[in-house]
Structure 1
């Protein structure tokens, strides 16, 4: 039904798997990379430029959630807790 591409290689003592076409199909391009016990989803979405620019505007957002690594604080904030400066990385190049 969908064109799913999967490549698997041995890198060091672990398996590196790169898979495309299974999730995030509305994005222009998306891959899931698995290495050991870590998985990363990378997506790309683009549109045609409205004006001629001589640079590529790039935005990266990273938000670390406490519950994603098994650190669930007690007290009032049961899930994400308050947003700390070190948890959100927002970068424009």
Structure 2
């Protein structure tokens, strides 16, 4: 079952759509704003851990073909994350980590 919510923001359509992709994740949502599309997924273990930290992993990937660049090397692969992607992932981590409750470990 999919669900979609749309609204106008800054003269463009902002839409949230869930239930179509990444069904193995505990939660996923497509976010579209103009020509930009972001897939956000969240997974959580059912085991309770006795950790004193939040094991949060943020991965930011900008695909070359999404920006109009097709990899031209022999293997035609995306390659590893660049500096911009690493910094974007760290920034996102630092912004959302304080939003989790202290008991959420």
Gapped runs of 5+ residues in structure 2?
A: 95-105
**Map 1:4-83 → 2, pairs under 5 A:** 4-72=2-70, 74=72, 76-77=73-74, 79-80=76-77, 83=80
Q: Which has the larger radius of gyration?
A: 1
TM-score, length of structure 1 as denominator length: 0.73
How much is the aligned-residue C-alpha RMSD, in angstroms?
2.7
Q: What is the rounded CA distance, in whole Å, between the counterparts of 2:26 and 2:81 in structure 1?
A: 32
- Between 61-70 and 24-33, report the one with greater CA deviation: 61-70
Number of residue pairs matched? Answer: 90
Question: How far apart in 1 are the matches of 2:54 and 2:7?
Answer: 32
**CA 82–54 in structure 1, closer or farther in 2 if over 3 Å, else same:** closer
Q: Secondary structure at the match of 1:68?
A: helix
What is the CA-CA distance between 1:19 and the residue it aligns to? 0.4
Indicate the structure with greater strand content.
1
